[in-house]
Amino acid sequence: MGKLYVGGKKKKQPGKRYRPGGRNRFLTPGILAAGVVCVAVVAVAVLFAAGVLRLPEFKPAQNTSSGTSETSSQAPESSQEENNSAQPESQPAESGTDSRVTDPNLSYQLLYPELYVEPEQIVERTEGDKVVYLTFNDAPSGNTKALLDLLDQLKIKATFFVTAANMDEASCKEMMKEIDSRGHTIGIYSYSGDYAKIYASVEAYLEDFKKCDDLIFEATGKHATLFRFPAGSGENSYNNGLSKELIAEMTRRGYVYHDWNVDSSDMYGSESAADLASRTVEACGWYEKNVVLLNNGSANESTTEAVRTIVDKLSKDGYRFAALDGTVKPFTFG
């Protein structure tokens, strides 16, 4: 409803109150809203004119049939889900975990992931096959060359469980290469030869084993697959109660360990060749299969001459001589 004026003066309408000089109560909310909209439209027009605001560019859809397309930097969510689900199933759930680890709680299983071998199939010995496996601990040493020359003369092969304790590394590698080139088997005995250090823990044993295997590989280009525990695999005063745990770990990694059933070792080089040979020949006579423990350390000068007698006498008794390999069923204490 409009306002009424009489003679230039406002005339009061019934039911309406006015205050002299007061605010006009007829500026309705609709009029105010319209004013705000007008101001906003003008402001937007000014911004477009100044180039602050622009309409989005229209781009035609990509033509993928042409063979050339621009890769989007943000793939659709459905594509991302497909990419995630397409990961190889063999991918370990936790990065860096070797799938061959059977118990991650045993932290030493995570050590040296390259220290694994593929075991060979064991071949059972035929009954009546009389065989002797001559095995030498503590090689190489200054006595190894003479022993190798004798084995060549006798045309037999043997097994050397090696250590780096008796020679400097360069000489040791040179002699290991010689052992391998003459067709003998090389197995791991230890790197340091220090029982207290080797058997301080499973981790310490693996560290020593790895060093010895690295040395063998540097010398021959081959990794060892056989080994012998220093002092044997059974519980003894040297292995610090770790026997069963070490056996389980090394077997899990695929390695085969060999103990012996004939002990003819002369650790300190104090026995004569005749005594060594006599004891060995007598003990072997009890069995068809014999794994003979001998020493080829720096003090074992008499071992080479003893081997000559051992081979001569046992050959006459119908025994053959061979080197151990991954197919031979081992004698074990543990």
Q: What is the pLDDT of residues 60-115, one digit of tens each?
A: 444 433 333 333 333 333 333 333 333 333 333 344 567 899 999 999 999 999 99
Residue type, 19: R
Q: Determine which of 28-32, 40-44, 209-213, 240-244 has the lowest per-residue pLDDT on average.
A: 28-32
The number of C-alpha atoms within 13 Å of 20 and in the hemisphere containing its C-beta is 1
How many residues make up the chain in this entry?
Answer: 334
Read off the pLDDT band of 33 (50, 70, 90): low
Q: Which residues contact 101 (CB under 8 A, 6 or more apart)?
A: 109, 110
Give, for 304, the enclosing helix (H) or strand (E): helix 302-316
pTM for this structure?
A: 0.71
Cα–Cα dist 26/2, whole Å: 9
- Please name which of 170, 187, 141 lies closest in space to residue 301, comparing C-alpha atoms: 141
**What residue has token string 């040179």?**
174
Q: Which CATH class is domain 131-321?
A: alpha beta
Token pair in block for residue 265: 């070792």
- Average pLDDT, whole number, for the chain? 81
Structure tokens at 9: 């003066």
Domain residue limits, the chain: 131-321
d(CA 315, CA 302): 20
How many other CB atoms are found less than 10 A from the CB of residue 166? 21
Residue 225 corresponds to which tokens in the numbers above? 């697959």
293-307 pLDDT tens trace: 999 999 999 999 999
Give the pair of three-digit tokens for residue 250.
């090394």
Question: Contact, 319 vs 132, CB < 8 A?
Answer: yes
